[in-house]
Amino acid sequence: MGREPPNFKNKCKLILYIEILDILIVPILFAILGLMIGVDSVIYELKSYAEIRPDYFLPTNDFFVFLGSSALKPAFVEEIQFRLLPYVLMAMLIFLFTKYGIYKNGGSKLLQKIAYVIIWIPFLIGTYYWILIHSYHFSPILIPVFFAGLTWSWLIIRTGSWWPALVAHILANTTIYFFVKILFLLGYKF
């Protein structure tokens, strides 16, 4: 907040940074959950997820079927359903905060911080509802999913654009597909 939005090249860099962060942190969160609730419980939850999202388990020769049905389409629909409205609210709030001097030179730093927290509230709510469509029931494995959703919300807030979150979501879905293939190679069955 209060700084210029990044240009296209820097937005692409931020998407890459978020994707790397998600690739590193989300599996670590799953591993921590495995230690806390047991590996068998995490595997059970992943099997439940496999029932919701079977395309992630398609063979690699069906990659383009997966890409259309489980990477592009769900990312687009979910980003519209759960992060577009917070994005619009953010734009309206920034307009109001700017109009009433919160973001102008000399605006109170405290008010700027409060405004930043207020902007996050719709994204937190949207991300909460977004994780609920990723499981039949509320489950600890939704914690890593929530983390990924927050990183995409941060992308929207930081860039002032909706499309970087969409691209990051598509990349994440595709990464999950290949991560499942690696787990199969390691002998895990879902």
Give the start-to-end residue ranges of the domains of the chain.
8-185
pLDDT tens digit string along 50-72? Answer: 787 888 888 899 999 999 999 99
Residue 144: count other Cβ atoms within 10 Å of its Cβ: 20
Residue 25 class from Cβ within 10 Å (0-12 exposed, 13-18 middle, 19+ buried)?
A: middle
CA–CA gap between residue 126 and residue 122 (Å, rounded): 6
* pLDDT score recorded for residue 52: 78
Determine contact, residues 75/169, Cβ cutoff 8 Å. Answer: yes
Q: In whole numbers, what is the pLDDT of the chain averaged over residues? A: 88
Question: For residue 190, what pLDDT is reported?
Answer: 67
- CB under 8 Å to 134, separation ≥6 — which residues? 49, 52, 142, 145
Over the stretch 110-154, which tens digit does the pLDDT of each residue have? 888 888 899 999 999 999 999 988 876 778 888 999 999 999 999
Take residue 98 and report the two structure tokens written for it: 């700017």
Local confidence band at 108 (pLDDT 50, 70, 90 cut-offs) = confident
As to burial, measured by CB atoms within 10 angstroms (0-12 exposed, 13-18 middle, 19+ buried), residue 60 is: exposed
Q: What's the rounded mean pLDDT across residues 25-37?
A: 90
